Amino acid sequence: MYAETIKDYLVKHGITQSFLSKKSGLHRSVLYGIFNKGRKMSIEEYAKICKALKLDMDYFREIVEKSGTPETTHD
């Protein structure tokens, strides 16, 4: 759910995964895996994404909680 919420944020704000890759230091293939292939995001990756977007780490958590849908994992 976090990945989907972040991806929606990127689309709504016109932010590309390429731009996020450069700002976060995460390789584009990592971001592609997270946003398009269901790859589980680590807390470190999440922190880098939030920092790159200049958002508090609680920003997406609050959106997910308001939606009432728990985070799903892909183990």
DSSP code per residue over the chain: -HHHHHHHHHHHTT--HHHHHHHH---HHHHHHHHHS-PPPPHHHHHHHHHHTT--THHHHHHHHHHT-------
What pLDDT band is residue 69 in, cutting at 50, 70 and 90?
low
What pLDDT band is residue 70 in, cutting at 50, 70 and 90?
low
Convert the pLDDT of each residue in 12-48 to its tens digit. 999 999 999 999 999 999 999 999 999 999 999 999 9
CB burial string 17-52: b at 16+ within 10 A, e below: beebbeebebeeebbeebbeeebebeeebbebbbeb
Residue 23 structure tokens:
């700002």
User: CATH assignment of 2-67?
Assistant: 1.10.260.40
